[in-house]
Amino acid sequence: MKTIAVLTSGGDAPGMNAAIRAVVRTALDKKFTVMGIERGYSGLINGEVMPMERKTVADIIQRGGTVLKTARSEEFKTEKGRKKAVGVLKKFGIDGLVVIGGDGSFRGAQELSKMSIATIGIPGTIDNDLAYTDFTIGFDTAVNTVLDAINKLRDTSTSHERVSVVEVMGRNCGDIALYSGLAGGAENIILPEIGYDGDELCRSIIREKTKGKLHNLIVLAEGIGGAEALAEKIQKVTGIEARATKLGHIQRGGSPSCMDRILASKFGYRAVELLEEGKTSRVVGIRGGKIVDLDIDEALNMSKHFDNKLYNIANALA
């Protein structure tokens, strides 16, 4: 293998740049030629390929987003689209590809590996919704962004003795809500993995208010409903003023945390090592603090473990 390429695909996540930098610099150290593909699989199909040097990735470790840009591509989901993509890779002499993204991007990488392109996936998504790895790049930064917002909301909801419902991202995974809820001292954390009883929630808000709680902070994962509707219900049933805040896309931006930069650097380094070892159709991850790699199929077929213990701790401390 002489030439490898790197792309970012699907939803962006803080730390993707640190991963690109790690891939490029590790590969150059190992005497590979390295290409960057812009706009994910869509850019690959369109031949948006550029050479990457050490200096191309200078000054990006601290930046959120992805300098290679990201996209979703319906065309790549078709065999015709993928054939075009392989044609572009062949044209540039690329025989190994590092894909930084989530589960959808990994499925794409798996398809390319069946077409004689060595592919390695790096988990980049704020949602932390990949079962095979304890953490994905971007999750820690997103949780810290949410935490900052929770701290601010706590001030104002205490002053006004209000209920505050904060809706956070995560698709069907409640990890952002669970971690930020525990770290932010939320009274209630509502997760798709657990579900909730709206009437019981309202009764508990009244009980807590009677006991003298100045505020009630509820962290709601997007996968279980909308903050606006929940706040309306709470206000109607309890008579206590309730406000909704949907944090939205600010959760995807910002300078990556130390943890995300280090994770991205380790993943990028290992991904290139795997290509050097002649591996393909694998994804890198972290489990119990150790960097691991698994077959893409095996990784995507695993079911996500829900951290019940962490949830119980959050409830006990609320």
Secondary structure of residue 129 in the 3-state scheme: coil
Residue pair 16/38 in contact by the 8 Å Cβ criterion: no
Nearer to ligand ADP, 111 or 140 (CB): 111
d(CA 90, CA 9): 20
> How far is Cα of residue 270 from the mean position of the Cα atoms in its chain?
19
Among 30, 69, 72, 279, binds ligand ADP (CB under 6 A): 72
Under rule CB under 6 A, residue 48 binds ligand ADP: no
91 is in an annotated binding site: no
What mask, x for binding ligand ADP by CB under 6 A, covers residues 124 to 153?
-x----------------------------
Residue 116 or residue 151: which is nearer to ligand ADP going by CB? 116
Cβ 145 to ligand ADP, closest distance in Å?
18
Tell me: does residue 181 bind ligand ADP (CB under 6 A): no
Strand residue runs (E) in the chain: 3-8, 33-37, 49-51, 96-101, 118-123, 163-168, 188-190, 216-221, 242-246, 282-287, 290-295
Q: Give the residue from 160, 130, 153 showing the smallest Cα distance to 292.
A: 130
Is 127 tagged catalytic? Answer: yes
- The DSSP result for 135-149, as a single string, is --BTHHHHHHHHHHH
Token look-up 């393909």 returns 280
| 309 φ/ψ angles, rounded to the nearest 5 degrees | -65, -45
The active-site residue out of 12, 127, 175, 293 is 127
Catalytically annotated residues = 127
The annotated binding site is made up of 11, 21-25, 72-73, 102-105, 125-127, 154, 162, 169-171, 185-187, 211, 213-215, 222, 243, 249-252
The annotated binding site for ATP is made up of 11, 72-73, 102-105
- Site of interaction with ligand ADP (CB under 6 A): 9-11, 41, 72-73, 76-77, 101-105, 107-108, 111, 125
